[in-house]
Structure 1
Amino acid sequence: MRKLIEFACAGETLLGTLDEGPGTTGLLIVSGGNEIRIGAHRGMVLLAQRIAEAGHPVFRYDRRGIGDSTGENHGFESTSEDIAAATAAFRVETGVTRIVGYGNCDAATALAFFHGRARIDALLLANPWVIERTDDLPPAAAIRARYAERVRDPKEWLRLLRGGVNISKLASGLLKASRKRPQQSGGLPGRLATALADSHVPTTILLAKGDNTAIAFADAFAGPAFAAVRNKISVSLCDSASHSFASPSDKDWLFEQVSAAL
């Protein structure tokens, strides 16, 4: 059965969807970006249905200012209260004794930051957001990966010789790609590394290998800021460029990862 649940958060009213299941371990889905709880391509609906059919209750919700929930949307870094309120409502409605939190993109980063207050028991963090925007170009690590792929493709060289490449854009991309990985511990990557180091719950990182956000995270994860957490966190790779794991094979892979965590 699927039902809608209203619950309070900091004086506002949030709306969530519960897919019921008999298990005592449940899945909390936190939406990324400004997406409503349905998810891109209805991905979160389909995942919730499939997990519930396998016996585990699933709760997903709209944070303040998104979708059916009241209040103002101040971005993922303001969602500590939302995550805690949703987790509490999930426990009250189902009686679950263990909760696995799943989030994609900045929802993954938010879960890493705020799972402690919500007493979430395990984390599945897909394509965590570590990008601090300075321009409209993709992250430097993603540019390097794309250029490395294109250099090996004779068709790309032919396109360059025929004038099919924007030289100005190419120059900007090469300049950004040449920048070294930041070494400082500050900034969003450093804060995420600190949050993961301070965490005491089992954590798995899920990455779509060809996705720009995943590539940026993988580059940061290989740097010194994450040295202290690399051997305490599992990383699982999906051979896909889809940020939202949109293809049928991607969905099967994601279902397997979530099932294993549950």
Structure 2
Amino acid sequence: MSRRLLTFPCDGHTLVGTLDGPPEGGGGATGLLIVTGGNEIRAGAHRGMAELAARLAADGTPVFRYDRRGVGDSSGINSGFRGARDDLLAAAATFRAAAPQVTRLIGFGNCDGATSLAWWGREAGCDALVLANPWAVKPSDTLPPPAAVRAHYAAQLRDPAAWARILRRGLSLPKLVRGLRSIAASPRDDGVTGRTIASIAQWGPDATIVLARGDGTAIAYADAARRAGISPRTVTLDTGSHSFARSGDAAALEAAIRQVLSAP
């Protein structure tokens, strides 16, 4: 296996990416393009993306990951995922040029990296997507999305230990009021929710959703998808870690990705 650092242009700036795979010119015809979420560098949280890339590359799958403008080693201004279209397209083109044997491109992203792929993956030439915890609902103020708050309170009400804690410590009235207001609030669409759900729907069977069961972002996405009446193929992992950092998470996430990579 080899690991190569590549630089490539994007709107007058220089982006940096990493290509993991067999020696130059080798490797399978299916490649994985990784898009990190938030302001994470291409190594991913806890180096999760770098380790995933190394394991897949050892089995012959070329993997490319990159830092968008203003993040990590890439120059420019970080304008968030809403401004990351050109970065994604430039990265996909660079990947194909560096690994010309790749004829089937799978995109994988977590959080708003997943949202970027849902929005612009077709333009980037992706054939299928693995979208982990897609960012679809913006939290309001200092509270998580209403769906996540509802799930939290429902879990608390089912837990006898939680009732015991309440009786011992008493209720925090301000916190309770904020939570109840969040539950009662109608979901807000700041231009992300509708577009993300519609984009995922358009991918049809070419999109696989991976959700961390206890993660607020995943819960909010699932609620938005239910409200919109879409039901893409979904794999739910029994973890509360948004970045799949708990014991067993990495293997479960990798299994879901490998299933898409190996599909005909």
TM-score (norm 1): 0.92
Check the 8 A contact 1:124/1:204 in 2, yes or no.
yes
Could you tell me which residue of structure 1 aligns to residue 178 of structure 2? 172
1:146 aligns with 2:152: yes
* Equivalent of residue 111 in structure 1, options 98, 117, 124: 117
Could you tell me which residue of structure 1 aligns to residue 49 of structure 2? 44
Cα offset, 1:201, TM superposition: 7.0
For 1:169 and 1:259, the matched residues in 2 are separated by 42
Check the 8 A contact 2:114/2:134 in 1, yes or no.
yes
- CA offsets per residue over residues 173-207 of structure 1, 9 Å max, x none? 1221133456x8x7321111222233477110000
Cα offset, 1:138, TM superposition: 1.1
Instruction: Give identity over the alignment, percent.
Output: 49
Check the 8 A contact 2:41/2:71 in 1, yes or no.
yes
In the TM superposition, what are the counterparts of 1:74-113 in structure 2 within 5 Å? Answer: 74-95=79-100, 96-113=102-119
Could you tell me which residue of structure 2 aligns to residue 223 of structure 1? 227
Cα offset, 1:159, TM superposition: 2.1
3-state DSSP of counterpart to 1:222: helix
Letter in 1 for 2:32: L
- CA offsets per residue over residues 46-86 of structure 1, 9 Å max, x none? 11011111210100000000010001100001111100100
Check the 8 A contact 1:143/1:173 in 2, yes or no.
yes
Q: How many residues align?
A: 255
Could you tell me which residue of structure 1 aligns to residue 239 of structure 2? 240
Check the 8 A contact 1:31/1:104 in 2, yes or no.
yes
* Unmatched 5+ stretches in structure 2: none
Cα offset, 1:167, TM superposition: 1.9
Could you tell me which residue of structure 2 aligns to residue 126 of structure 1? 132
* Unmatched 5+ stretches in structure 1: none
TM-score (norm 2): 0.92
Check the 8 A contact 1:14/1:70 in 2, yes or no.
yes
For 1:10 and 1:70, the matched residues in 2 are separated by 11
Query: Which is further off, 51-60 or 159-168?
Result: 159-168
Check the 8 A contact 2:210/2:234 in 1, yes or no.
yes
In the TM superposition, what are the counterparts of 1:248-259 in structure 2 within 5 Å? Answer: 248-259=247-258
3-state DSSP of counterpart to 1:117: coil
Letter in 2 for 1:38: A
For 1:36 and 1:136, the matched residues in 2 are separated by 25
* Equivalent of residue 190 in structure 1, options 190, 194, 200: 194
Check the 8 A contact 1:127/1:217 in 2, yes or no.
yes
Letter in 2 for 1:161: L
For 2:16 and 2:175, the matched residues in 1 are separated by 43
3-state DSSP of counterpart to 1:219: helix
- CA offsets per residue over residues 2-35 of structure 1, 9 Å max, x none? 1100111111100001101311110000010000
Pick closer, same or farther for the CA change 1:201–1:219 going to 2, 3 Å.
closer
Cα offset, 1:219, TM superposition: 0.6
Cα offset, 1:127, TM superposition: 0.2
